[in-house]
Amino acid sequence: MQLKAILRNVKKSPKYYLKNGFVPAVLYGKGIENVHLAVPKGEFEDVFNEAGETDIVDLIIEDDKKKHPVLIYDVQYHYINHQPIHIDFYQIRRDQKIKTHIPVEYIGESPAVKNFGGILVKNVNEIEVEALPQDLPHNIPVDVSKLETIDSKILIKDLMVSEKVKILAAPDTVVAAVVAPKEEEVVAAPSITEIKIETEEKKAERVQAEKQSDEKSE
C-alpha cells in the first residue's frame, strides 16, 4: 500500500490543511529527523481502513521517488465530529524488530453461552507483541468456540500466533472467559393463607383499638 504526502509549512495553522482536505501529520523514527507532512484525508482513510496500525505503508513525499516504509502509529480525532486531525507515521527498518499492540478479533460462538446461558467476558482488546515489521499480524484471532463450560477460560498462552511473533503479555493473562449469570433475587408473592392471616390480625387490632376507645369514653 502506498500513500502520498506533501511537506507541511509549519507557519500555517493545522486548520488550514484540514479545511483544504488534508490531515496534518509527522514522520519520525530511529535515526531520522521529524518531518512535518500533510496527507489527503480521503486517501488516508482508505489506506488506514485496510492497513490499520500493523501493516506497512509506503509513504511517498511529494516528488521524492523514495518510499518510506511506515506504520500508522497514532491517529488523533476531533472530539465532536470524530474526523482525523493529526497522524503519527513511524518509519521502520525491515531488519529491526519493533514492539507494538495488535488488536484482538473474537471469532466463533461459545457453547457455554449458547447452551448454559453463560456470560462471555472479553478482557483484552489488544496485545503487545514484538516482531519484524513485515511479520506483524493484522490481528490476533481468539476463538471463543473453545469455551464449552461455565468458568472456562482462554489465556494468552493458548493463543496461536506465528513463531516469528513474540507475545509480551504474561502467559496466564485471561483473554476471555465465560461466567455464570447472576441470579436475580426472587421475592415470592404472599399466599392466600398469609393474606387471610394478615387480614384477621389487622381486624383483631382494629376491634381491640375500638374497644379501648369505648372504654375511655365511658
Phi/psi at 43 (nearest 5 deg)? Answer: -65, -40
Q: Give, as one character, the DSSP assignment of residue 55.
A: S
Tens digit of pLDDT for each residue in 4-54?
Answer: 999 999 899 999 999 999 999 999 998 889 999 999 999 999 999 999 999
pTM: 0.72
Gap between the Cα atoms of 104 and 46, Å rounded: 21
Q: Which three cell numbers stand for residue 191?
A: 399466599
- Please say whether the beta carbons of 87 and 70 come within 8 A: no
Tens digit of pLDDT for each residue in 151-198?
Answer: 999 999 999 999 999 999 999 999 999 999 876 544 555 555 554 555
